[in-house]
Amino acid sequence: MKTITLHDVSYEVFTENGCFRKASTNKILHRISAQFTPGLNAIFGPTGGGKSTLLDVISGRKPRSMLTGQVLIDGKKPPKNLQCMVGYVVQDDFLTGTLTVRENLMFSANLRLPTSISREDKRKKINHLLVDLGLGSCADSLVGSLLSRGISGGERKRTAIGMELSIDPSVLILDEPTTGLDATTARSVMTLLQSLSTKGKTVICSVHQARRDILNMIDNLVLLAGGRAVFHGSVEEALQHFEQCGFHCDTSCNPADFFLDVLHGEAGPIKMKTEIGKTIGYGDELVTSFSAKKRHSPN
């Protein structure tokens, strides 16, 4: 299980509006098509853009009744137990503060690995993971909570990643693994994810902000704004695409900041006209130009 393909995926939720609580639906993802292959895949975009929702959809955590389009795993319909096969590090990690780092990892392994694997083998696996994740020095420290201090933010993130790696998933999904970390710690987490991706795992993470060297690690980028895929490809291709659309990224500017400026409508030409002459928002305009480009591309 390695390649995840999305064809025209839309997702909506039921909402209740006004004092009469009239039920209506709210579309959160709009016709997203993208492919995630082994390597480091990043979903990038402003807050509220739909990143977490898209990751939930990919990992099979959204009701199928509210989904349209197709999510395919290696070209086939996802298996019923997809959630058990994909590692998912959520935005706010669920670690047990009163256990040590090692105990948290062991807890995950005991809960999720088959009982046919002996306790000793699980222990060995966790010992290897602790070394690979650079958690050796804090393995027996309490994780801690809001009220009692424990390990650092970067170590927490690595522990949360380790809990998912304990089942050795071929697909690892992470919702904002670098948010709240300083730039150096964020890079070390991304370096870890890159090294996992070079071992053949399909790593998909959402990112808010990224320094230049983090962007350089990304093999495949999906830019999301307003629940729409504004771009899908490499970072260099994204820069070329936006240049063609009239959005120039100055060499002194970090492309990650530039992408956010474009998606927020803070960069480039102030108003653009559609083919039919109607002025529309940046997001819509960029989606239109990207879809048109895909239609004309030989691939």
Ligand X SMILES: Nc1ncnc2c1ncn2[C@@H]1O[C@H](COP(=O)(O)OP(=O)(O)OP(=O)(O)O)[C@@H](O)[C@H]1O
DSSP symbol at 199? T
Per-position x/- string for 46-65, each x denoting binding to Mg ion as judged by CB under 5 A, each - no binding = ------x-------------
* Among ligand X, Mg ion, none, residue 10 binds (CB under 5-8 Å by kind): none
CA 19, chain centre distance (Å): 36
Integer Cα distance of 188 and 180 in angstroms: 13
Out of 6, 30, 42, 50, the residue judged to bind ligand X by CB under 6 A? 50
> Which of 226, 268 has the CB closer to Mg ion?
226
> Which of 17, 70 has the CB closer to ligand X?
17
For residue 209, give both structure tokens.
């902000």
Contacts of 94 (CB under 8 A, 6+ apart): 160
Which region among 42-50, 59-67, 80-88, 247-255 touches ligand X (by CB under 6 A)?
Answer: 42-50
Whether the Cβ atoms of residue 195 and residue 165 lie closer than 8 Å to each other = no
Out of 6, 28, 189, 262, the residue judged to bind ligand X by CB under 6 A? 28
> Which of 13, 131 has the CB closer to ligand X?
13
Which region among 49-57, 101-109, 154-162, 244-252 touches ligand X (by CB under 6 A)?
Answer: 49-57
Question: Least Å distance between CB 210 and ligand X?
Answer: 13
15 binds ligand X (CB under 6 A): yes
SS3 annotation, 228-278: EEEEEECHHHHHHHHHHCCCCCCCCCCHHHHHHHHHHCCCCCCCCECCCCC
Out of 26, 68, 198, 244, the residue judged to bind ligand X by CB under 6 A? 26
Name the strands in the sheet holding 228-233, side by side, starting at the edge strand that comes first in the sequence.
Answer: 86-89, 171-175, 202-207, 39-44, 220-225, 228-233
How many CB atoms neighbour CB 275 within 10 A? Answer: 7
Out of 53, 100, 104, 166, the residue judged to bind ligand X by CB under 6 A? 53
17 binds ligand X (CB under 6 A): no
CA of 49: how far to CAs of 41, 76, 233, in Å?
A: 17, 28, 18
Three-class DSSP category at 169? coil
Per-position x/- string for 177-216, each x denoting binding to ligand X as judged by CB under 6 A, each - no binding = -------------------------------x--------
Site residues (CB under 6 A) for ligand X? 13, 15, 26, 28, 45, 47-53, 208
| Binding region for Mg ion (CB under 5 A) | 52
